[in-house]
Structures are given as C-alpha cells and as structure tokens.
Structure 1
C-alpha cells in the first residue's frame, strides 16, 4: 500500500518526533516535579567533582559593647555620654551638720549641697526630688574601698565615708553632669538643660553590656554590686 507524502514516517527513516503526544527523550512530563534531564541540583556534584555542602548560616550579631563608669565623671559632648570611672570626693564643712556618717544608715538617701571641701550631705527622704544619692555602704575609713562598681563617694573629715549609688528610676533625666557632685540634679526630660535620661534600671544585674547593649538607643551605663543594679543611659526624650 502506498503512503501519501507527508502522512507519516517512511520506512527506514529516523523519526525525531513522538507519536500520540508523548514527550521526546529528555523532555519533562507535564506537571512532573522532577528535574529536567541534564540540569544539576544543589549539592549534586558534576562528574569528577567533589560533593559540596550548602553555605553555613551567618552567626548572630553580638550586642554592642558599652563603656561603664560613674555618672559624676560623665562627659557630655553633643549629648553623647561617655562614662568614666573616677569617683568625685567631697568633704563636709568642719562645723557642718554632718560631722560623721554614723547617723546615715545603708539604704537611706542623701542630698549634697555646696562645693569642693565645703559640701554638706544631709539625710532626706528618698522620695524627695533632691535625694539623688542612696547609701550603699557606710565605711569607717576613707582608705577602705567601696564595693565593686561605679560608686560615688562622700568623705567625712572624721575619716569615714559613704559609698553612694544614684537614686533614680527609668524615665528620670539629669542635668549638670560635667559639674560638681552637688550640681547634678533631676529635671524634666523636656527641659533644655536635660543631658541624660535613665533608659532602664535592672535590679539584680551587674553586666552593663548584657543589659544596656540590647537597647538600640543606649549610650552607656553604670553598675553596682551591692545592691546589684545596672543603669542604662541615653539621650533625653519626652516620656
């Protein structure tokens, strides 16, 4: 029987097409999930190559490092706080009302008035806005060190001294940080003289980097060991 031209393959001819809609060799079945023949999958080595592993994930970003130090030695430059470690030492008036620290118990608060060797510390209620300092230790000798941390000191002319911590809460703002101990004061955070804001107070902690380093707007911090507490500092902002 003769076959009309163009109606199908001739005997002996190689037919490159596929009958009944079947895919050609090397083509992917419609809807099949497998790879196309000849394409390389991730981690699948080429002939003669060693297998490769997928890339390792990036390590987590560590918290930023912060420099701790006593607030009274803080240097404020364009509202950037750099805390130092030098404690301010003041002395009471020879005839002042605070002849020694025997009547100031640990946990009580004091307000410091005056300057240099004429400064006077008086005991006040801790809720008083002028009560900027809380007594952490009352030592019988000025040569005895305060506990580990960023304490400020008040020296009496009798040879005793107080180790002081800031009596502040989160949201408090301070001014006159580059002046004398008695000049530092609490102010409203919207006041033009506000230089520093307490961003966070973490009780029971001593790791400044671990606490303040996780705060994106923290500029520095301070810590005390007795009682354990971390303070985080930042720029003043409305609260």
Structure 2
C-alpha cells in the first residue's frame, strides 16, 4: 500500500489590520443614515394616499382610527377599495346639497377645533356592484355578488329619477355631477 503523505497543521491566515476609529465611525454613520432614509421612504409611501389632494371626482375609502376617529385614503376610482367618490368639497363645516351624502370633515392640525373642509361623499358604485356592511361607512366594501356577505346590489340611474327604485330598495340621490340615483337592492335568490 502506498504511503500517505504527512499532513501538518494548516497555516493560519494573517490577521487583518484593525480598522481605524475614523473608519468605524464612518461605517456606523453610513448604516444609520441608510436605515433613516429607508424608513422615511417607507413611511412616505405608506402615507401617500392620506396626503393626496382631495377634490371633486377623486375616490377614497374610510378607516376607523383609535379613539373613535376616522381617516381617509385616496385611491383610484377603478379600485375595489374605492367605496366613496368626492362629489363636492365645501369650505369649513358645511352641509352637503343632499342628505344622502356622507359628510366627512377635514381638520388642518390636531390642535384645531374647526373643520377646514367638508367632503361630500357618494357611494362609488356601478350598476351590478354588490356591497357588504352597507350601513357602516368604514367597513362598507365591494364584494362578489355570490359572496355570502353580500347585502345589496347597486342599480345606478343617471339624471333625476323619480320612482327609479323598488319599494324594498334603499334609494340614494346624489346631485353630482353627474346627478344620479343609486338603488341598493337587498340581495337574495334573484341575484
């Protein structure tokens, strides 16, 4: 049998020179700066819908906040999350033109006690859309009509529509623009 070559202990790698104090401080400051910038960017992206301009024609959805307040987030009107459309923006605390609107007041800073604007919100639905939680502004949502939680199906009629809805429907009239009537027909076997 051939003899095995003798293997000695491995040769150690030379130890790198220690980093200078200036290099260590630079590395720590670089990591802190990168984390800070990353956090600011992430926060800005998450808050971008809340600081978007509110104007007639834009869409949004409402959410509950701690302490009983509500907040809004703007979104594309074609999004399923867009449950409300802004039909009018009024200065201060003002009534909307029709009582079927959801009135949402905006305050400039937390220390102010008076509203700067009032948003007049109409349901953002098309004929055939189905909804759940229709009586709760922050939980209302569009769902598939086959979903067991679907409570109502929307029927939208443009213009002033007298007797547009059936007797079991909830009728909502929005002066717009465009002027329209939304009939919320209870779901059932006829869907």
TM-score (norm 1): 0.50
Q: 2:169 and 2:87 mapped to 1: Cα distance?
A: 25
The answer for the alignment partner of 1:140 in structure 2 is 91
Cα separation, 2, equivalents of 1:178 and 1:218: 16
Aligned partners of 1:229 and 1:149: how far apart in 2?
14
TM-superposition CA deviations, 1:104-155 (whole Å, max 9, x none): 110110111224743211211001100000001111111x211124100111
- Greater helix fraction, Structure 1 or Structure 2: 2
1:205 maps to what in 2? Answer: 160
Structure 1 unaligned blocks of 5 or more: 1-95
The equivalent of 1:68 in structure 2 is: none
Report the CA distance shift for 1:117/1:140 in structure 2 as closer, same or farther (over 3 A).
Answer: farther
Please list, as runs of the form range in 1=range in 2, the aligned pairs for 1:12-51 lying within 5 A after superposition. none
Indicate the RMSD between aligned Cα atoms, in angstroms. Answer: 2.3
CA contact (8 A) 1:190 1:236 kept: no
Q: Tell me the equivalent position of 2:101.
A: 151
Q: What are structure 2's unaligned runs of at least 5 residues?
A: 1-46, 109-114
Question: Highest Rg: 1 or 2?
Answer: 1
Structure number with greater CO (CA < 8 Å, separation at least 6) is 1
Q: 2:143: which partner in 1?
A: 187
Choose which of 193, 202, 222 in structure 1 pairs with 2:172. Answer: 222
**Pairwise mapping of residues 41-190 of structure 1 onto structure 2 (< 5 A)?**
98=50, 103-115=53-65, 117-142=68-93, 144-158=94-108, 159=115, 160-179=117-136, 181-190=137-146
Residue 219 of structure 1 deviates from its aligned partner by: 2.3
The number of aligned residues is: 134
